Structure 1
Amino acid sequence: MTFSGHTILITGGTSGIGLGFAKKFAELGNKVIIAARNEDRLNQILSENPTFSGFVSDVADENSLSQLVNFINENFPKLDLLMNCAGIMRAINLFEQADNSLGALTEEININLLGTIAVTQAFLEVLVANNGMVINVSSGLSNLADGAHPIYNLTKASVHFYSDALREQAKYFDKALKVVELVPPLVAETNLESHTNTDAPNNMALSDLINETLAGLENGLERIDAGFSKQLHQMGKVNSDENTKLLSNQMLSNYFPKNKE
């Protein structure tokens, strides 16, 4: 792989997909900055990876994001790649949701969707100036609702449409910005949610996701459907209503099994 020489900011960079890419990008000779909400976790990752730089930031908080922008502008003016990895995933039974407050119901929207939009917008100027790239992480479940993750599904579908719109605007207005959508399948080892396990049939190893992504970037792909996401993409285009029913039945029974008398 020859993806090197970049200055890269990764949100959600202290765990999961974000941390995996941070390590790989650093290994390939890139300057890596990670941002995350948990200061203790951030300091631990920085101590374990001395080539990283880092900053405590909440993508869903305007003041926190403003501080991150100032930090990057002052210390990394050559930033040319933003990877939006910050995200949470919750299985929710809408009929038994304990906390029906707006904050609880929209937490995934604030982080997964609004955070992606806000961070991208905040760094558009510097990224364009440096002939840069945005990588937005959506999900295979942006193609097909699975029933068990009603809010997560809509946030990732929205990230997909937002990425498409940003890409087309960059082309239309002749801006030096590449927009890539990374569409991962289940990557159980990232522990995005505790319910999944590495023995799941459609699980993809994090290392395989990273390698497939790097190959896609080197080939100039604008959308990288990794692993089982390729099938989910097709399922969302052909017989999507029927496939939604089938997937939802499977996932709902997995996450919320009915008691059998």
Structure 2
Amino acid sequence: MTSRMNTVLIIGATAGIGLAFTHRFHAMGKKVIATGRNERKLNRMAQELPGLETRQFDISDLAAIPANINGLLKDFPSLDTVFIMAGIQQSFNFFDASSTTPEKIAKEITTDLTAPALLMRLIAPHLLQLAGKGTQTTLFVTTSALAYTPISFYPTYCASKAGLQALVKILRQQLLLAPNGANMRIVDIVPPYVDTGLDKDHREFTITSQGGAEKAFPPMPLDEYVDKFFDSLEKPGPDGNIKKEIGAAAGETAVEAWHASFDGIYEAMGFQI
């Protein structure tokens, strides 16, 4: 399915899964545009990956999103594939007010839910317009297995990702009503717990909370996850197109359980999900 992807924008490309995807698509010979907060990391990536385009911006700066995205669409009018991957995570307890701050809660929700919604608002019309002209386009939005199965360690992260996966399904429903949308796909990326820097500030706390390293749920190695993602990406869904969700391990299990529980309800209402 990567054959339909030619110009790829990765929002949140300087670390973790986003960085790994940037390297993988670049190695495939795709035109890749990488964005992130850290300009120094972006410059290093551009030196390591000849031909890589980079743009520095922080999606938590909501007021700057329109200018940044409109600039990208002007510079790359043939952009056909977008990955929304940027995110942050904190661990705290609502019953211990000292374990977080209002500012941290607001920033996490802004980065993980509000900003992606604003990005989708600007990017979806562009991809639909290209699709109407015959170009196959794809919008990938990264949620989490925790969007489907929230756990106590990450209160607002789980809630934000749950909201984001709902938005992905809503956007997919709206696409069915849009003219000329047959060439556009909207995909929910549902990773399990992957060994990245996302939880670096609280990993030891969550390990201790689970009873120590021997009892704690281990992360999937990043390289293993990336291999699983791209293997799944190349395998079509039941309709012969890109799968609606691409999960792995706990992410795949959660998606299957969700569909087993809710597909019938949506079908009874006349919706495809």
Give the TM-score taking structure 2 as reference length. 0.78
Which residue matches 1:178? Answer: 185
Cα distance in 2 between the residues matched to 1:38 and 1:159 = 24
Distance 1:238-1:202 versus aligned 2 partners, 3 A rule: farther
**One-letter code aligned to 1:39:** E
Which residue matches 2:45? Answer: 45
Cα distance in 2 between the residues matched to 1:150 and 1:67 = 31
- What is the deviation of 1:127? 1.2
Which residue matches 2:152? Answer: 147
Distance 1:203-1:72 versus aligned 2 partners, 3 A rule: same
Indicate yes or no: 2:199 matched with 1:193.
yes
Describe the superposition over 1:61-118 as per-residue Cα deviations: whole angstroms up to 9, x where unpaired: 2342123223312321101111010001111122334376543222111001111111
Which residue matches 2:231? Answer: 215
Cα distance in 2 between the residues matched to 1:166 and 1:62 = 20
Indicate yes or no: 2:240 matched with 1:224.
no
Cα distance in 2 between the residues matched to 1:227 and 1:202 = 12
Maintained 8 Å contact 2:10/2:32: yes
User: What is the SS of the residue equivalent to 2:98?
Assistant: coil
**One-letter code aligned to 1:95:** F
The sequence identity of aligned pairs, in percent, is 26
Q: State the superposition RMSD in angstroms.
A: 2.6
Indicate yes or no: 2:15 matched with 1:15.
yes
User: What is the SS of the residue equivalent to 1:192?
Assistant: helix
Maintained 8 Å contact 1:113/1:159: yes
Residues matched between the structures, number: 238
Alignment of 1:1-261 (within 5 A): 2-3=2-3, 5-98=5-98, 102-131=102-131, 132-174=137-179, 175=181, 176-188=183-195, 190-194=196-200, 195=203, 201-218=217-234, 219=236, 220-233=242-255
Describe the superposition over 1:22-56 as per-residue Cα deviations: whole angstroms up to 9, x where unpaired: 11011112111111112222222222223211111
Cα distance in 1 between the residues matched to 2:28 and 2:76 = 18
Maintained 8 Å contact 2:89/2:198: yes
**One-letter code aligned to 1:192:** L
Q: Name structure 2 gaps, 5 residues minimum.
A: 132-136, 208-212, 237-241, 262-273
Maintained 8 Å contact 1:4/1:25: no
Describe the superposition over 1:121-141 as per-residue Cα deviations: whole angstroms up to 9, x where unpaired: 111222112221110101111
Maintained 8 Å contact 2:92/2:99: no
- What is the deviation of 1:234? 5.9
**One-letter code aligned to 1:208:** E
Cα distance in 2 between the residues matched to 1:54 and 1:13 = 9
**One-letter code aligned to 1:178:** R
- What is the deviation of 1:235? 6.7
Q: Name structure 1 gaps, 5 residues minimum.
A: 240-261
**One-letter code aligned to 1:37:** R
- What is the deviation of 1:173? 1.9
Distance 1:100-1:182 versus aligned 2 partners, 3 A rule: closer
Cα distance in 2 between the residues matched to 1:163 and 1:37 = 24
Give the TM-score taking structure 1 as reference length. 0.81
Cα distance in 2 between the residues matched to 1:73 and 1:238 = 38
User: What is the SS of the residue equivalent to 1:103?
Assistant: helix
Cα distance in 1 between the residues matched to 2:258 and 2:233 = 24
Distance 1:37-1:70 versus aligned 2 partners, 3 A rule: same
